[in-house]
Amino acid sequence: MEIDAKMVAQLRAETGAPMMDCKAALQETKGDKEKAKDVLRKKGKQIAEKAASRDVKEGKLFTYQHFTGKIAVIVEIVCETDFVAKNEEFNAFGKGVCFTVAATVPPLAFVNREQVDKALVDKEREIVLAQTLQTMKGKPQQVIDKAVEGRMEKFFAEKCLLEAQFVDPTGQGDAQTVEQKRHQLVGKIGENIQVRRFVRMELGG
C-alpha cells in the first residue's frame, strides 16, 4: 500500500510524532493507522526507558487554578535542559498534567504505583480477591486470577497520576494515559522527562 503525505500528516496531527516516524510506522503496518499508533507508542516507550538514567536538573513548576477558585494544582516536571523546559510541547504536557490532577475524582494520591505503600496494595488485593471469589464462584482459577489483576489495574489507575487518563488541554488526540503521553513526548524531544511530584488542594479539603 502506498503511504501518501495526507496519511502521514493525519497520523502526526493525532500523535504529535515526527513525520519520518509516522511514515515508517504506517509503512510497517501497511497503512493501518491504529496499529501505527501502537508502533509509535512502543518506540516512545523504548526511547523513554533508555533516557530514564540521564540526569534531570532542569524543569518547571506548573500551576493551575480552577475558575471557581476552589481547586488549585502544582506539578513539578523535570527535564535535562533549560531549552526543553521552554519548549511549547513540554509546556503543553505540563498544562495537561495539571488538568488531569484537577479533574480526576477521587483525587490521585501517588505519581506512580511504586510509591503506593505495599500494605495498602496487599489489603486492596485481599479485598478484591474475596469479592472476585464470591462473584465468580465456580470459575476456573486462571479466569479468577485474570479478573483480580484487571481490578488491581483499575485500582492503580485511580490512585496513580501516570496511569490516569491524560486530559489534553487542546481537546485533541486519542485517549492516552499520562505515562503514554510522557513516552510520546520523550520520543519526540529525545530528553529524559519525568513527572516528579504534585499537590492538589481543594477548598475545605
pTM listed for this prediction: 0.75
For residues 95 and 181, membership in a common domain is answered with: yes
For residues 71 and 147, membership in a common domain is answered with: no
Confidence of residue 47 (pLDDT cuts 50, 70, 90): low
For residues 104 and 176, membership in a common domain is answered with: yes
User: For the ranges 113-117, 120-124, 139-143, 173-177, which has the lowest average pLDDT?
Assistant: 173-177
Q: Which residue has the cell 490532577?
A: 101
For residues 177 and 139, membership in a common domain is answered with: no
For residues 88 and 171, membership in a common domain is answered with: yes
Quick one: average pLDDT of 120-136? 93
For residues 47 and 136, membership in a common domain is answered with: no
> In this predicted model, what pLDDT tens digit does every residue of 68-82 receive, in sequence order?
999 999 999 999 999
For residues 10 and 42, membership in a common domain is answered with: yes
Confidence of residue 3 (pLDDT cuts 50, 70, 90): confident
pLDDT at 36 over 90: no
- Could you tell me the CATH number of the domain that includes residue 40? 1.10.8.10
Domain that includes residue 175, residue range: 58-108+167-202
For residues 13 and 88, membership in a common domain is answered with: no
For residues 177 and 102, membership in a common domain is answered with: yes
> In this predicted model, what pLDDT tens digit does every residue of 186-199 receive, in sequence order?
888 888 999 999 99
Between the two ends of the chain, the Cα-to-Cα distance in Å is 56
pLDDT at 50 (0 to 100): 63
25 or 80, higher pLDDT: 80
- Could you tell me the CATH number of the domain that includes residue 62? 3.30.479.20
For residues 83 and 153, membership in a common domain is answered with: no
For residues 104 and 191, membership in a common domain is answered with: yes
- Give the number of domains in the chain: 3
For residues 63 and 148, membership in a common domain is answered with: no
